[in-house]
Amino acid sequence: MRTAIAILAVAFLAVTPAAASPKEDALGAKIPCQDFQRGSDGQWISGPDTTIGTLLFGRHTFSIGDVDIGDADLATVLNRKCLPH
């Protein structure tokens, strides 16, 4: 019985996304989701006039690990904030 409970706990943790860090929350507050589109390949594409805070970020295509802003991964933040859950 303990083994079954342990397996269920591990399976739950594997599918539960980690909570956002304070830096990810701060970046998320600056992101207008309507300025980004997610491609069928999972990459994000910013619109031509996209800004993040004061940063001009137009016409970029990127994935997780490609763009770090203030110690927060932009694609990770977009996945959390802008995709339906």
- What residue ranges do the domains of the chain occupy? 21-82
Please, are residues 77 and 20 in contact by the beta-carbon 8 Å criterion? yes
Which is nearest to 29 in space by CA: 82, 85, 83, 68?
82
12 pLDDT above the threshold of 80? no
pTM for the model: 0.77
pLDDT on residue 6: 46
What is the structure's pLDDT at 60?
97
Query: What does pLDDT average to over the chain?
Result: 86
Per DSSP, the residues of 69-85 read ETTEEHHHHHHHHHS--
